[in-house]
Chains A and B, each alone.
Chain A
């Protein structure tokens, strides 16, 4: 039973996108061996699958955690500024915070693609970064709301887009995260090719 057990197909497919082509067979073999040898017999199918998924995400998450923290810090700073120093016109502030968010997701994709030599990793890194950032941003905003909910703060929140924007906007970044991460990955691949061509000439 255990010797024929297979981890989730989607996780193996994701792992393939995260690794250099020459590394997939040996790395996935190592994970499969551990999955069948020790994890599956000790933990059962569901927990073994969860373990496998976490192992796969570990190939992308160390950098994604850093970029997610950066993204959340930007989001919470913007939120705090809107609550406590509301401007007359949000346009300039929105332009700056959007540019910073886009730059962070592009950088996450670029970094992941640089590390793995695969532009697809950039897309995965973008999604993981945006996903992690949305959770921490919402938790941070909820914490801020628990501390500051006096009538003046609530009026400022309504004026800056309301609670819907605070609690929905971060989740809406996951799909753009996919596109921007892929964009960063493509830019990285192009730069690497250019550097290779320059080296050869």
Chain B
């Protein structure tokens, strides 16, 4: 059965996908905020990343820190094959829901 992803989970997974090798906590947060065009709490992204890792959709590794973070390590994320399938399934589900309808919808029913 296809993995059902919430909108925020999709935003986080797609951010990791877009960032590639540079996908670490702060960069993911910035990307998600830019795409969703709103302020997002770091805690919300952290909780989502944890959930995605538990589901086996992403894996992480610790990388070196930088002076601006006082040398504190960065956690880098990568989307797994299962995560890519989940994203494709989510997109296919939404496309299926919209099939036969012209976007944007007009009027009211």
Chain A residues in contact with chain B, CB under 8 A? 3, 23, 25-34, 36-37, 54-55, 58-59, 62, 115
Contacts and interface: CB of A to CB of B under 8 A. Distances in A.
Contacts of A54: 41
Nearest to A3: B68
Contact of A27 (B42, B44, B65, B70): B42
B72 A25 contact: yes
Interface string B9-37: 00000000000000011100100000000
A31 B68 CA distance: 11
A29 B73 CA distance: 7
B66 A33 contact: yes
Nearest to A32: B69
Contacts of A62: 43-44, 47
Interface string B72-95: 111100000000000000000000
Given A3-B67, A26-B62, A36-B68, A31 B42 contact: yes
B69 A33 contact: yes
A30 B24 CA distance: 9
A29 B42 contact: no
A75 B102 CA distance: 50
Contacts of A55: 41-43
A106 B50 CA distance: 24
A36 B29 CA distance: 15
A102 B95 CA distance: 48
26 contacts: A3-B67, A3-B68, A25-B62, A26-B25, A26-B62, A26-B75, A27-B42, A29-B25, A29-B72, A30-B26, A30-B29, A30-B74, A32-B70, A33-B69, A34-B26, A34-B29, A36-B69, A37-B68, A54-B41, A58-B41, A58-B42, A58-B43, A59-B43, A59-B46, A62-B47, A115-B47
B66 A27 contact: no
A74 B109 CA distance: 40
A37 B44 CA distance: 20
A129 B70 CA distance: 33
Nearest to B63: A26
B74 A26 contact: yes
A33 to B, nearest CB: 5
Nearest to B75: A26
Nearest to B44: A58
Nearest to B62: A26
Contact of B73 (A3, A25, A36, A58): A25
Contacts of B29: 30, 34
A34 B42 contact: yes
